Amino acid sequence: METNLMRFLEMSVQTFALASVWRSASSMVTPGTMLNEPLALLPTLEPFTIPVTLLAVIGSVAATHIGIRGWRKLRRAINKERSDLPASISQPPASSDRQDRLVADLQNQIIQLHKEKEALARLIEEKSASLRQDHLTGIANRLAYEEQLQQEFLRWKRFGNPLTLLIWDIDRFKQINDHHGHAAGDDALRNLAQQLAVRLRNTDFVARYGGEEFAMLLPGADAPAALRLANEIRRQIAEAGFIQGENRFPMTISCGLASFEAGDTPQEVFKRADQALYQAKRAGRNCCRAALP
| Residues that are catalytic | 212
Give the type of residue at 176.
I
In this structure, are residues 230 and 263 in contact, taking their beta carbons and an 8 Å threshold? no
Angle at which helix 223-240 crosses helix 182-198, to 10 degrees, equals 140
Task: Give the 3-state secondary structure of residue 236.
Answer: helix
Helices (H) and strands (E) in the chain, counts: 10, 7
C-alpha distances in angstroms, 60 versus 28, 52, 75?
20, 12, 22
Question: What is the distance between the alpha carbons of residues 141 and 152, in angstroms, rounded to a whole number?
Answer: 16
- H/E run at residue 206: strand 205-210
Task: Give the 3-state secondary structure of residue 244.
Answer: strand
Question: What is the distance between the alpha carbons of residues 200 and 192, in angstroms, rounded to a whole number?
Answer: 13
Task: Give the 3-state secondary structure of residue 40.
Answer: helix
In this structure, are residues 171 and 285 in contact, taking their beta carbons and an 8 Å threshold? yes
- H/E run at residue 254: strand 253-259
Report the length, in residues, of the chain: 293
